[in-house]
Amino acid sequence: MAARIPLRVDHGLPRDRRARVLSDLRISVIDRCNYRCPYCMPEDDYPRDHKFLSKANRLRFEEIERLARLFANLGVRKLRLTGGEPLLRRELPELVRQLSAIEGIDDIAMTTNGSLLPASVNALRDAGLDRITLSVDSLHETTYRELSGGRGEVAEVFAAIGAATAAGFASLKLNCVVMRDINDGQVLDMVEHFRGTGHVLRFIEYMDVGTCNEWNQDRVVPSAELRERIGARWPIRPLPANYGGEVAQRWSFVDGSGEIGFISSVSEPFCGDCTRARLSADGRLYTCLFADHGHDLLGPLRAGASDADLSQLITAIWTARDDRYSEIRGAAGSNSRERVEMYEIGG
């Protein structure tokens, strides 16, 4: 793996209106996906002939690298590649290689549905990818198929886990979006399967991202309820966060069989620590997962803006940020307004 440049001491970095620094950038490298998960990209809204971004309107790797370098100068230390399905960008290892050479970046991760992972996992590791998060919503064939919109097979997830482990990614994060009466009855089976494997299963509360998943609070299973169910079978205890702003709450099995995580954006919002920005595949900067608009960086970049101009623009956007959607969710009107779709900015 590529050597990492040590962290610098952070002085005078931009802070938003709630004093939050910008330390984590999620980069959506493509808006397309080979799955149609009903909670993200329902088939009815995104049929096979749906018009996604053209190649010309998508950030090129050198443009992503340039922006990432500017973000690193402004305090970003962690990058996450996502999508859509990031592995639909076939040359992704080349992007990872470029990003891993940026001074100040100390962690590069990727979130993927795993279906295309076996073919590229070695190249990704050699290019400097540090961590992989795999989406695994069920281990049951029928439910998995249903939650991928009829496009994925659970056998592909097992193949992805095997390939990643063999490539040296010993501890994967496994994301499971829990929806009541769809897969919440399978939570204990999933815990049983992954306990003691070294992988960290994380249960994500179903979120009201975007506008087309017909989100309904009744489908949300609060993490507290899951913790009670899991803890009744295998006692668990809370662990301290690994770092400030960590999204998942970490819990460990008392018997030493590893840890699990809970991402509780609906029931236990964590906006106060949110140091994340999101760059969409068409070069827009979103300061919140639930933002109704992004700030165009691609236009200025292609119009010849200098590094200093772009840094100034990013700083102005970040310092004006006041987002805390999850804390005010449910306030009058907040559920009905426009919101960016999850596949555009990658979660």
Q: Which residues bind ligand SAM (CB under 6 A)?
A: 33, 39-40, 82-83, 85, 111-113, 135, 175, 177, 204, 206-207, 209, 213, 342-343, 346-347
Residue 326 site contact among ligand SAM, ligand SF4, none (CB < 5 to 8 Å, cut-off depends on kind): ligand SF4
Q: What 3-state DSSP class applies to 250?
A: strand
**Shortest distance (Å) from residue 56 CB to ligand SF4:** 22
Candidates 34-42, 87-95, 156-164, 222-230 — which segment interacts with ligand SF4 by CB under 6 A?
Answer: 34-42
Cβ atoms of 210 and 250 within 8 Å: the answer is: no
Tell me the closest approach of the beta carbon of residue 286 to ligand SAM, in angstroms: 13
Give the residue with the Cβ less far from ligand SAM, 71 or 343: 343
Q: Is 35 in the site for ligand SF4 (CB under 6 A)?
A: yes
Looking up tokens 């990058």 gives 79
Contact pick of 144, 253, 290, 318 for ligand SF4 (by CB under 6 A): 290
Write out the binding residues for ligand SF4, residues 74-103 only, by CB under 6 A.
Answer: 83-85
Query: Shortest approach of ligand SF4 to residue 64 CB, angstroms?
Result: 18
Tokens 């939650």 found at:
147
104 Cβ neighbours under 8 A, 6+ residues apart = 5, 7, 8, 72, 73, 76, 77
Q: Are the CB atoms for 63 and 11 separated by under 8 Å? A: no
Rounded Cα distance, 50 and 88, in Å: 16
Largest distance between two CA atoms of the chain: 59
Sign of the dihedral through C-alpha 112, 116, 118, 119: negative
Q: Given the DSSP bridges, would you call strands 249-253 and 259-263 parallel, antiparallel or unpaired?
A: antiparallel
Residues in the site for ligand SF4, rule: CB under 6 A? 33, 35-37, 40-41, 83-85, 113, 135, 265, 270-271, 274, 276, 288-290, 323-326, 342-343
